[in-house]
Amino acid sequence: MSPCALLRLFRFPSPSSLFISNFNPLNRASINTLSTRKQFRSYNKTMTSSMSSSPNTTNDPPQLSDQLPKITAPYGSWSSPITADVVTGASKRLGGTAVTANGHLIWLESRPTESGRGVLVKESVKEGDEPCDITPKEFSVRNTTQEYGGGAFTVAGDIVVFSNYSDQRLYKQSLNSDLSPQALTPDYGGRSVSYADGVFDSRFNRFITVQEDGRQSSLNPITTIVSVELDGKDINEPKVLVGGNDFYAFPRVDPKGERIAWIEWGHPNMPWDKSELWVGYLSENGEVYKRVCVAGGDPKLVESPTEPKWSAQGELYFITDRQTGFWNLYKWFEANNEVAPIYSLSAEFSRPLWVFGTNSYDLLKTGDGRNIIVCSYRQRGRSYLGVLDETQSSLSLLDIPFTDIENIALGSDCIYVEGSSGLHPSSIAKVTLNERSLEVVGFTIIWSSSPDILKFKSYFSLPEFIEFPTEVPGQNAYAYFYPPSNPKYQASPNEKPPLLLKSHGGPTAETRGNLNPSIQYWTSRGWGYVDVNYGGSTGYGREYRERLLRQWGIVDVNDCCSCARFLVESGKVDGEQLCITGGSAGGYTTLAALAFRDTFKAGASLYGIADLRLLRADTHKFESHYIDNLVGNEKDYFDRSPINFVDKFSCPIILFQGLEDKVVLPNQSRKIYNALKEKGLPVALVEYEGEQHGFRKAENIKFTLEQQMMFFARTVGRFQVADAINPLKIDNFD
């Protein structure tokens, strides 16, 4: 056992974390997937369901025969080749895509093996060649705007403008030369000013972007839409074009440079609660001289417009959830300032604006004059890719193996799709359509977060979408259940597996049924795993999302407990071996479930919230009023904070915390740790130096994953872990 494993309070020093914040919200960093740069073979259009198909690789090992006798061993004790090193060894995540003038794809990936550095990568020109890095080694592409960033780079022609993590300045880089990137914004001596979600304005040779300026107050920075000069002769202060509200996103300039659209919202709303879409008219000197509210300004309509986009003809499209409660596509008619739906469906064509740069649809140019929109939407737990013919008001589904789609980008003759499925890790696929743009004729994965994981596919547990009853009569919630799966092992017939229930972050977020090696780490060792979309999750419309208003700490906790009981009553898991885990807001639900319910036997909180009052007082501007709508009055803040009811905890808990976390400050984890230690409950706290909200370094991700497994195995106590893992010391247990 290493010396540090003997300490009760663990700290792992590491260099500054440089990572693309991708998602999500008070969550936002789950243990993710490994990757190497390899290309997969093309798929043809006959490949339909990713739940029944998977890509062939040139070096897939032979699958284990179903005829081989299985070893009988207790659940949780099975040996698996999907080790923590496999899960974390070369993990990469996507931070957005864009297409160059010559049609080549650019993507942003983070690399935990390089301390989370964000690197822009260019698609190979010739088939079979390796993609090439664009970002020089002294740079890291990542922004910190609204804490979670996103929209950290923009490509126009052969020029890319990106945000550099260390100083948060914008830089311009030519994709056709070896010249070092050129700074565009002033050096403020730190990261107090950041930029996100920018676009090029060719009419005035400038870059228009969202600016967050924290020079006067880091807790209450000023957010505006500004213009940045691109000529490179002088570095001047950005010029404010739009300001006065708390938040802005999606500044988008029309093709002629005469109008600019944007989204704005103010406290206490989050952008998915209520926002507004505006259009501003640009004068001859580039200033906004007239403004029109397109959507969100009618007090009789509660809506949250998002993702404005101009067509080549200067028509404005966007997504909103007015009247139906589902984010659907709309169009603005400028002459009378009216909007109309393009196609109505009880499905979500967008997702909540936790990070900048979302691109759920795009406008396809056709030779026959049709208005074609390539779009993705989400319905009952899965994503779909479709082609919407505006003229005929018809939606045609495109047959691809992804069941989860994040973003799309139009190439010169194809669609680039960020997606995944139960058998596909996070990937980028090149999708080619026929002449009518109604049918897939080619599907090629050009980047995968985890191509090597497919050699373990005989171990994969496929997600089962389940709908279960909640404590409210007639009201159901949703989850993905992953049963134990290992071709070499089986348990005795009368045994039920232990369950690890995951409560996602946000809490206004959504878990998705895609291939995540960290889940397979558990299921291949004989665990059942369930990922819950409790009431308040997105992906199911506004009504479902608003179940959590004034009910955070109640609805989410009840739904997680109801899901666990449902699986026990269905005979799928052992009711005496129920464990719960979650990060940030998911960590809060975990702690609240352990304090106020007796369903679970042990829990793990990753950078979780213990004190709602502290969260409100300490958190950053973007979420500073978020929980006002989720909690309620002062009594609710006290009554729903687990730290105030330590006497109600009755089972072991392990806590993991980054010391540079600005969303959930380290004192929350320390406070719950000290209280549980004093009470005499088995407890452990791990603190990581250099980590922020979520763990981005491979060694820390690995340690967190393994120690959760060991903690549950030791404290729940019915099996021995097959892996050789040095267990950390548990207070009041060892």
CATH topology of domain 488-507+517-716: Rossmann fold (3.40.50)
Above 80 in pLDDT, residue 19?
Answer: no
The owner of tokens 């930029």 is 195
The pLDDT assigned to 89 comes to: 57
Q: What is the pLDDT of residues 516-529, one digit of tens each?
A: 999 999 999 999 99
* pLDDT > 60? residue 646: yes
Q: What is the pLDDT of residue 93?
A: 83
pLDDT tens digits, 566-583: 999 999 999 999 999 999
Contacts of 722 (CB under 8 A, 6+ apart): 77, 78, 79, 80, 525
Among 45-59, 316-330, 610-624, the range of highest mean pLDDT: 316-330
Task: Answer yes or no: is pLDDT of 345 > 70.
Answer: yes
Separation between Cα atoms, residue 139 and residue 394, nearest integer Å = 46
Which range of 89-103, 375-389, 607-621, 662-676 scores highest in mean pLDDT? It is 375-389
The total of other beta-carbon atoms located within 10 Å of residue 428's CB is 23
Which has the minimum average pLDDT: 78-82, 316-320, 423-427? 423-427
Q: What is the pLDDT of residue 522?
A: 98
Could you tell me the pLDDT band of residue 3, with boundaries at 50, 70 and 90? very low
Domains in the chain: boundaries: 488-507+517-716
Q: Is the per-residue pLDDT at 316 higher than 80?
A: yes
What's the pLDDT band for 608 if we cut at 50, 70, 90? very high
Instruction: Give mean pLDDT, residues 264-285.
Output: 97
The residues near 435 (Cβ < 8 Å, ≥ 6 apart) are none
Mean pLDDT of 446-467: 92
Q: What is the pLDDT of residue 127?
A: 74
The confidence score (pLDDT) of residue 436 equals 79
User: Given this model, what pLDDT does residue 34 score?
Assistant: 28
CA quadruple 202, 206, 208, 212: dihedral, nearest 10 = 170
HEC letters along 283-334: CCCCCEEEEEEEECCCCCCCCCCEEEEECCCCCEEEEECCCCCCCEEEEEEH
pLDDT digits (tens, 9 = 90+) for 32-91: 222 333 333 333 333 333 333 333 333 444 454 456 789 999 999 999 999 999 887 546
CA distances to 116, 653, 681, 734 from 715, in Å: 33, 9, 11, 11
Residue 678 has pLDDT above 60, yes or no: yes
pLDDT for residue 541: 96
What pLDDT shows up at residue 257?
Answer: 97
pLDDT of amino acid 66: 52
Q: Pseudo-torsion of CA 40, 41, 43, 44, nearest 10°?
A: 160
Q: What is the mean pLDDT of residues 163-191?
A: 94
Pair 536, 552: CB distance under 8 Å: yes
pLDDT of residue 368: 66
Mean pLDDT within 383-411: 94
pTM of the model: 0.87
Whether the pLDDT of residue 119 is over 60: the answer is yes
Measure the CA–CA gap between 314 and 84, rounded to whole angstroms: 51
- Whole-number mean pLDDT of the chain? 88
Q: Residue type for 528, please?
A: G
Of the candidate ranges 96-100, 133-137, 362-366, the one whose mean pLDDT is the lowest: 362-366
pLDDT value for 579 = 98
Q: pLDDT confidence of 102, banded at 50, 70, 90? A: confident
Q: Which residue, 413, 310, 317, 415, is CA-closest to 367? A: 413
Burial (Cβ within 10 Å: 0-12, 13-18, ≥19) of residue 208: buried
Q: CA of 613: how far to CAs of 8, 489, 490, in Å?
A: 27, 47, 47
* 157: pLDDT strictly greater than 60: yes
Return the SS3 of 611. Answer: coil
Average pLDDT value for residue range 403-429: 94
Closest CA relative to residue 477, chosen from 397, 564, 392 = 564
Mean pLDDT value across residues 670-685: 93
Q: For residue 337, what pLDDT is reported?
A: 95
